[in-house]
Amino acid sequence: MKNIAVIGAGTMGNGIAHTFAQSDFKVRLIDISEDSLKKGVDTITKNLDRMVAKEHITEDQKQQTLSNISTFTDMVEGVKTANLVVEAATENSDLKLKIFKQLDDLCSKDTILATNTSSISITQIAAATSRPKQVIGMHFMNPVPIMKLVEIIRGYNTSDEVTKTIMTLSKTLGKDPVEVNDYPGFVANRILMPMLNESIETLYNGVAGVKEIDTVMKLGMAHPMGPLQLADFIGLDVCLSILNVMYDGFKNPKYAPCPLLVNMVRAGKLGIKSGEGFYDYSENRKAEKVAEQFL
């Protein structure tokens, strides 16, 4: 399994492509937008430059990683030789179902189809294909090149063989895979998102300010990043989407998103990606600058 296709050149997609390419897999990065592909490759290059500067990798390793990546706007061409496809498109169930139906038609019958969804049912996604045994979740953490965890999510029909293959593959990437079952939010977001939501509720109720809440969690709980800054880093729209999936899935009011979060997303204050969330991100503090503390 050396040919990998990654769908989506955004934050998670380019990070996944970077990680596979750095482990000497041949990666085809696919997006409908040439501009998104260029930005994705630029981000990978900048992150590799930081790794070279910190002597984590050599210049030769950087060049080899970049040479392992090719870009495509044509999904037919992009996935035709793939042994594994990792979908990293927007966290939208209708879009993901559409993509997996296309992949089922385009890919070899032996190709494993994985999704980087952080909350949407693997079983539901697999049902859009004729190969549910070969559909699995690979939930990478952001920033992908640095974070060790990969949640491996089995759908209702995912085979033991495919699960074992993806667990082994994740270890080849230098990751620590953890197998979990298919319930809304899986493990990571089932625990993380209520914490972020409660932090937003704490702000909404006037208990303390943004910096004060984050400082309490950083100094008191030894979190490397405060919950409100982390929500900005993830994207407030993504947080809202995940909470909605969990609320719809469990019908439990504890997962209902805070009204402040809903209104901020409506107002376009999405965090780092929009330049403003709970914090203000000026031109010199774009996402890549914030990521420097991790890379």
Report whether pLDDT(5) > 90: yes
Report pLDDT digits (tens) over 94-128: 999 999 999 999 999 999 999 999 999 999 999 99
Residue ranges per structural domain of the chain: 3-181, 190-294
CATH architecture under which domain 190-294 falls:
Orthogonal Bundle (1.10)
Give the separation between CA 232 and CA 230, rounded to whole angstroms.
5
Q: Do domains 3-181 and 190-294 have the same CATH topology?
A: no
Report pLDDT digits (tens) over 7-20: 999 999 999 999 99
In the chain, the percentage of residues whose pLDDT exceeds 70 is: 96
Report pLDDT digits (tens) over 188-230: 999 999 999 999 999 999 999 999 999 999 999 999 999 999 9
The pLDDT assigned to 283 comes to 62
The pLDDT assigned to 294 comes to 44
The CA dihedral of 68, 290, 196, 170, to the nearest 10 degrees, is 20
258 φ/ψ angles, rounded to the nearest 5 degrees? -60, 140
The pLDDT assigned to 282 comes to 80
Q: Binding site for NAD(+), residues?
A: 8-13, 31, 91, 96, 118, 142, 273
User: Does domain 3-181 match CATH 3.40.50.720?
Assistant: yes
Report pLDDT digits (tens) over 156-187: 999 999 999 999 999 999 999 999 999 999 99
Active site residues: 118, 139, 151, 189
In contact, 172 and 23? CB cutoff 8 Å: yes
Report whether pLDDT(1) > 90: no
Q: Binding site, residues?
A: 8-13, 31, 91, 96, 118, 142, 273
CB count in 10 Å sphere of residue 181: 12
User: Which segments of the chain are extended strands (E)?
Assistant: 3-7, 26-30, 69-72, 84-87, 112-115, 135-140, 149-154, 176-181
Report whether pLDDT(279) > 50: yes
